[in-house]
Structure 1
Amino acid sequence: MGLAAMGMASALPSFLTAGEIKKEMPFKLALSQFSLASQYWSKKIDPLDFAQKSASSFGITGLDYCAIFFQDKAKDLNYLNELKKRSADNGCYNLRIMVDGEGVLGSLDKEVRKKAVESHYKWIDAAATIGCPMIRVNAEGNGDPAEVKKAAIESLNGLIDYGRKSNIDVIVENHVGLTCNGGWLADLMKEINNPHCGTLADFGNFCIKRTMPATNDLSGWMNTKCIDEYDRYKGIGELMPFAKGVHAKTHLFDANGNDTETDFARMFKIITDSGFNGWVSIEYEGGLYNMYQKGNKYLGDDAGVLATKRLIEKVVNK
């Protein structure tokens, strides 16, 4: 669907209304469901319509599902089969389920770890049902980095063993806690040394320390600032040897359509030089910031996804 047909063209910056860029890319484009978070949480769209939305609005057929949008449906076979059907009906590919809120896999408490591992089992089963070859988990924990790594490896090995029964891989995103340190996560992968485990390399998730939120809720956290960030280019370079997916993270664009936080040309050179030829998922978060920050300087979900897609096409075409 074109911008004019969506009724958006007149309200968009010029870099989004220029002619379309077409060129074969060395990887395939996917969409993280989190890019549409503001629409899900405001009940404007239904999670079941993710495939239709991605294919018709953006021309994107790879799907990264977020478990948080159907948290109570992990064991609902009717719901999961409907997700699978709608994906197939729209010519889409189910890539992974990104799992959050199911416990701390890197906890130093063995019982906490055991409970967390078992809480993830249902999502491995759900991934198998809808045809995703992998789930994404978090490997955070508090304590000495070496001890947390040891604990996380134990948990991940448990999930890998469970996933092997249904051919589901387990991957870790640089997302929270120690995983935002690219070197730490790369070392974890080296120690696991298992083809059924890998990374989901995210451009923007390298914040090691943030300001404290005014309130302990999503609104509070969305208004914090990063005060200590791991070098994102170094981090992506460290994670790419283990990457089973990439998140092209964006928030804000300048007048020329470039991301204001990440040099996409530099980042995509790192990706292509690594030999990666899998799926690169767009993960635009500006629409969510629009919900919780004053100033309305961010594009809405749909426009932000399209801006990210256009930016990727632009840098790959150079």
Structure 2
Amino acid sequence: MSSSTNRRNFLRQIGLFTAGVSLGPAFLTACNNAGTTSGADSANADSTGIADVPKELFFKISLAEWSFHAALFAGKMTNLDFPAKAKNDFGITGVEYVNQFFMDKAKDKAYLADLKKRADDLGVTNVLIMCDGEGELGDLDPKLRTKAVENHYKWVEAAQFLGCHSIRVNAAGHGKAEEVAKAAADGLGRLTDFAKDFNIGVIVENHGGFSSNGEWLSGVMKSVNKPGCGTLPDFGNFCINRSKPENDTPEAWAKTTCLEEYDRYKGVELLMPFAKGVSAKTHNFDEQGNETETDYLKMMQIVKNAGYKGYVGIEYEGSKLSEDEGVRKTLELLKRVGAQIS
């Protein structure tokens, strides 16, 4: 993703890409299934006067938990509160968890059962778990890379328990681009082989560094070339060279600036053929409700042109609006743009 207390930057995860398509039939259905979004409320009327028929969008809307990172870090809400927050406050019935908000609960079946019940009782779908802080899947050191792969096993199992279709990983690595690409393809491939038995996908986001180069990341995807391994294109995280923070704190990372950015539209277009999810990043809005850094009409047309029909996850990361208001603005924008091109 891009700036503003970015969880990727916060964890110094230089995201990498994977190769792939989908998993099995269940994974295909979950990731790329057509369906209505939460509250696509634009109506159409024909010449006969029949009106008030909601227009079905070509995608479904989910909500990324990182949108509430400030409230979560401050203890104003917990991970267990997230499904109700999404459904009751925004009418959104698909949720994307972030592992750092229940980092010690991956193997806690009682906790996971409670979380699943809360979502089920609300009619909320657990879409995926975004995983950070578990090592670099593109580490050039084989032992460290293997450790990173194995660290993700528990999240694969947790995702299956919760009914998610995927885990989102960071295939970070340090070294020459070609060397890291080869290492990442190995790490991602092995993790995907493990996840296959659980019918869980392994999807990689453009998350800074090499991974924010669309050509590099799509190349890694092609190298992995395994069903079940895919991408999570993020509209606003194409910084491939960032200034260094004074220290390793969220506040310090928030003050860094992007020194070199990859073309976001080209990047998303290159990553969409492998997409099993999409992240609708927002920061700021103009008076018309448009995102100021990303042309959403252009970006969502790219998503549609790829034949994608799965979840588009709202991830507000701005600072001018409250987290709730930022999510509402993003939801309104997605509905409006989606109605225009569906």
How does the TM-score come out when normalised to structure 2? 0.83
Match of 2:143 in 1: 111
Amino acid at match of 1:225: T
Q: Secondary structure at the match of 2:335?
A: helix
Identify which of 133, 137, 159 aligns with 1:127.
Answer: 159
1:8-27 matches, within 5 Å, as 21=42, 23-27=55-59
* Structure 2 CA distance for aligned equivalents of residues 315 and 76 of structure 1: 40
Does residue 1:305 correspond to 2:337, yes or no?
no
Question: What's the secondary structure of 2:233's corresponding residue?
Answer: strand
Q: Counterpart of 1:195 in structure 2: which amino acid?
A: P
- Structure 1 segment 1-318 matched on structure 2, within 5 A: 21=42, 23-286=55-318, 290=319, 298-318=320-340
Gaps of 5+ in 2: 1-40, 43-53
Structure 1 residue ranges without an equivalent (≥5): 1-19, 291-297
Alpha-carbon distance, 1:254 to partner: 1.1
Residue identity in the other structure for 1:54: A
Aligned pair count?
289
How many Å apart are 1:261 and its aligned residue? Answer: 0.5
Alpha-carbon deviation of 1:216?
Answer: 2.1
1:139-185, Cα deviation, whole Å (9 max, x unpaired): 11111111101101111111111111211111111113211111111
Q: 1:23, 1:313 within 8 Å by CA — same for their partners in 2?
A: no
Deviating beyond 4 angstroms after TM superposition, the runs of 4 or more aligned structure 1 residues are: none
Please identify which structure carries the higher helix content: 1
Quote the Cα distance in structure 1 between the aligned partners of 2:207 and 2:55: 31
SS in 2 for 1:248: strand
With the length of structure 1 as denominator, give the TM-score of the two structures. Answer: 0.89
- Distance in structure 2 (CA, Å) of the matches to 1:170 and 1:267: 24
Residues 267-287 of structure 1, C-alpha deviations (whole Å, 9 max, x = no match): 01101111100000000011x
CA distance in 1, matches of 2:202, 2:324: 29
- Partner Cα separation in structure 1 for residue 107 and residue 210 of structure 2: 31
SS in structure 2 of the partner of residue 73 of structure 1: coil
Task: Give the C-alpha shift of residue 214 in structure 1.
Answer: 2.8
CA contact (8 A) 2:286 2:292 kept: yes
Listed one character per residue, the Cα deviations across residues 209-247 of structure 1 (whole Å, up to 9, x for unaligned) are 112223321100011111100000000000000000000
Q: Which amino acid aligns with 2:152?
A: H
Give the distance between the partners of 1:310 and 1:43, measured in 2 at CA: 27
